[in-house]
Structure 1
Amino acid sequence: MPSELGTLARELSRPYYEDAFPAHDIFHAKRVHAISQQLADKHPRDVDRSVLAAAAWFHDIGRPLERVGEIDDHDKWAAKEATSLLEAEDVRTDQITAIEHCLRAHSIRANSPDPETIEAKLLFDADKLDATGAVGLIRLACIVGERSGRTGEQFAVIDDVSTLSIDRPDLPDINVLRKWARERLDALYTEEGRRLGESRWDFMESFLEQFSLETTTTANP
């Protein structure tokens, strides 16, 4: 077994992301890994960085299957799958248990358990921070596209729906991105996560103000 658990997890997780869409691909996992370690640098208590690193690489391995309807909950599925993979590599039981909790608790969904360990809270925050800022705006827009493709209908309008009469006035507009980002920032657990989150939020607000200006200018062609 490699001495670095994070390196092992990265290699074990890689095949699971081959069919992933951009919002939840291995590059997302890479960014979550980097952000989580950045948060750990500022945390006042000791962090098991090996557990945190492994959880970051594994956290979205079930997304491709969830997207096509083969599984219902990528959190629970990833926890079970990662456990099997790590047991086969003779990883310590306490580390596997810690990673499993991180994976089960990383989602913002109402039915997800609350993160109880430092590592689980750092993973949660890192994952949510990747849905904010410049990268977050691109990711959230990708998710709008994914949802449109999955339902077979347009999920949202990347514009201001009030500028035209449309058949579906209830269709979400650009503000759905602001709502999703704000919900994630308000759910953060760590002080450093909230500090970094507000910096990213400032950028998003600036971007959305410019977006509003551009769409208002072209509202009446």
Structure 2
Amino acid sequence: MADDAPVPLATSDQMQQGQFADLVRDYSSDALDQLMIEATRECEGTCGRRLAPFTQLPESHRAEGIDPDEYADSSNLPMDIQGTLGRSYADSLGASSLVRHVWLNETAPRYADLWSYDNLNVSLVRSYGGTETVTAGQLLSTDSDTGHVFFQLGLYLPIGTNIRITYDGGYKTIPADLVRACKLVAAVNALAEIDPAGAQFGHDPGALSDRAEKILANYQRG
């Protein structure tokens, strides 16, 4: 089994700079890298979500109903020619039982401009049998701030379909406050290993934990 090796929210080099350099001066390179990985996972655990960049995360969703305004009998809705063609195709399949939306579990809680999705792969497993791979052209958008995946009208995606998704995502640029939180958590862990009483280095583990929790509160699921 491969080791858990995420891109850390704060790097070993960042930890060796500033007020916590004294805590990690005797760590080997590998040990310090592992400390930052553990701190990253603790930050994500506190927030209940993924924050560091990840690859090919698997998810499964049950297809739910569409918005009533998108039903086939909404003939008064203004539409461009592309939308009209798409609706005509959907009408032939039965648009009132088709699905256009799904929401990914992992989204940007803040700073959506620093978050990105890549390599989104979608497979549909229908209840009566048969599977289909959704092409990129059948996805209208994937929104970083909500995780909303918008399927093109006309895709045959009945309610109850099992939607299996894998995707890359996370903060490609780590927000500065998350870097700080990761360093704080790493410092607490280092103190627990080398100075449990907090006397040698003059750092208060409780105060450091409180600062980290205040930062991470902004990234927790609502």
Whether TM exceeds 0.5 here: the answer is no
Between structure 1 and structure 2, the one with the greater Rg is 2
Higher helix share: 1
Scaled to the shorter chain, the TM-score interval is under 0.3
Task: Give the TM-score normalised by structure 2.
Answer: 0.23
